Amino acid sequence: MKANKKNHEITQVLTSGRLILDCYKKYGCPTEGNKYKAFVYDALVIAQEYPKYYNLDGFFQFLMDNEGNNLPYPSSGSLRVALEDFDCFGSAVGYEDDDFTDENLNYMKMLYNSLFKD
């Protein structure tokens, strides 16, 4: 039962992350200007639907800190790479916690690969 609950959390975090990444792509992966502001707004709307997994103030600050981040994809410092980073998602679901099992990790890797490896 624990694995199913954790796998549900993993599913929520990864699917919401994918929605935010798709939103970013929809706006053309902007880094500033009106398109970036529209993306930030839409990303926060998505994150609000998953309040258990997003610190909205922190997420907003992260997005504001990345305004003007013109590092190209796939540079490790680019916003797009950050939005699809496996370790960021892992932190959101507590993959370093004692109750995170190998089964959870395997599930997370499988789901991540299916959602983020185009």
pLDDT above 50 (res 37): yes
What average pLDDT does this structure show over 19-36? 97
CB 23, CB 43: distance < 8 Å: yes
Contacts of 40 (CB under 8 A, 6+ apart): 60, 63, 64, 67
pLDDT above 50 (res 1): no
pLDDT above 90 (res 118): no
**3 — pLDDT class (breaks 50, 70, 90):** low
Place of tokens 């939103």: 23
pTM of the predicted protein model: 0.91
What average pLDDT does this structure show over 62-67? 96
Rg (the chain; Cα; Å): 15
Residue 88, phi-psi category: left (phi > 0), alpha (psi -120 to 50), beta (remainder): alpha
Nearest Cα neighbor of 23 from 63, 70, 55, 72 is 63
CB 93, CB 10: distance < 8 Å: yes
